[in-house]
């Protein structure tokens, strides 16, 4: 594969939902440039899985809350050739009750989840090809809130509204921006669940199971395809019926 092969840039693309997206888009012929911040093993493992299928991929260590590191991403030769898909997926979630949340904790979460996503977009926007697609991974908590994750909820709410505003602004250029708001997904966030807690989560969902990264990746695939050519500015809830706004 070469520079004529479409490129997907996926922040936090080495594990969890990001890994699912990386593998799905690679299976559809995209070169994959994924970022990670701390888990180099998972990121390189994902790259190896993709390369084993004959598709090119690379992992970059990028702290998306650090403007200097984001600049390194924008200067990667693949990005300079042009980006066809941008997936803003990275994020941080720390359980802190809303009433005990400190100013510093809120600012840190916003720096990573919201300003980090904005910073990646702002650094890469001139490298997006005509007709590029952008998908922002939000959360149901960005709409309904959370008693133990107010900072996370606030950051995702900001992402939702910013992305929808961007969709309106970019529409005339042919670029599309959409948001996916997952519910429970089997990733590291839920890794600490006891058996009883996992069963409780399953029972809360009308489809009687928590989601998988591939469930989210399938919707990303749709939003990056021509089947969704008339969809932009949407917030698509992928939660098994758990939350119906």
Q: Which residues are catalytic?
A: 152
- Residues 218 and 180 sit within 8 Å (Cβ to Cβ): no
Nearest to 153 by CA among 171, 140, 163: 140
Nearest to 181 by CA among 206, 153, 204, 201: 153
Task: Supply 155's token pair.
Answer: 């950051």
Count of CA atoms in the C-beta half-sphere (13 A) of 110 = 12
- Residues 10 and 33 sit within 8 Å (Cβ to Cβ): yes
* CA dihedral over 178, 5, 2, 4, signed as positive or negative: negative
Rounded Cα gap, residues 173 and 229, in angstroms: 13
Buried b (16+ CB within 10 A) or exposed e, 172-190: eeebbbbbbbbbbbbbebe
* Strands (E) located in the chain: 7-10, 31-36, 57-61, 83-88, 128-137, 176-182, 235-238
Name residue, tokens 């559809």: 28
């Amino acid at each position: 594969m070469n520079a004529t092969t479409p490129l997907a840039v996926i922040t936090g693309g080495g594990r969890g939902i990001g890994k699912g997206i990386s593998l799905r888009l690679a299976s559809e012929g995209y070169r994959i440039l994924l970022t990670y911040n701390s888990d180099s093993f998972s990121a390189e493992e994902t790259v190896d899985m993709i390369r084993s299928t004959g598709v090119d991929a690379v992992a970059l260590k990028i702290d998306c809350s650090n403007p200097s590191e984001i600049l390194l991403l924008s200067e990667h030769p693949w990005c300079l050739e042009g980006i066809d898909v941008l997936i803003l997926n990275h994020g941080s979630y720390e359980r802190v009750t809303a009433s005990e949340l400190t100013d510093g904790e809120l600012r840190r979460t916003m720096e990573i989840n919201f300003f980090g996503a904005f910073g990646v977009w702002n650094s890469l926007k001139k490298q997006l090809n005509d007709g590029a697609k952008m998908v922002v991974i939000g959360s149901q908590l960005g709409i309904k809130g959370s008693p133990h994750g107010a900072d996370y909820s606030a950051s995702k709410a900001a992402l939702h509204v910013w992305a929808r505003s961007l969709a309106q602004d970019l529409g005339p250029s042919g670029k599309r921006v959409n948001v996916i708001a997952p519910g429970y997904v089997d990733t590291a966030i839920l890794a600490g669940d006891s058996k009883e807690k996992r069963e409780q989560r399953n029972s809360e969902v009308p489809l009687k199971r928590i989601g998988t990264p591939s469930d989210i990746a399938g919707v990303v695939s749709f939003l990056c395809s021509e089947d969704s050519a008339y969809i932009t500015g949407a917030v698509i809830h992928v939660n098994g019926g758990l939350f119906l706004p």
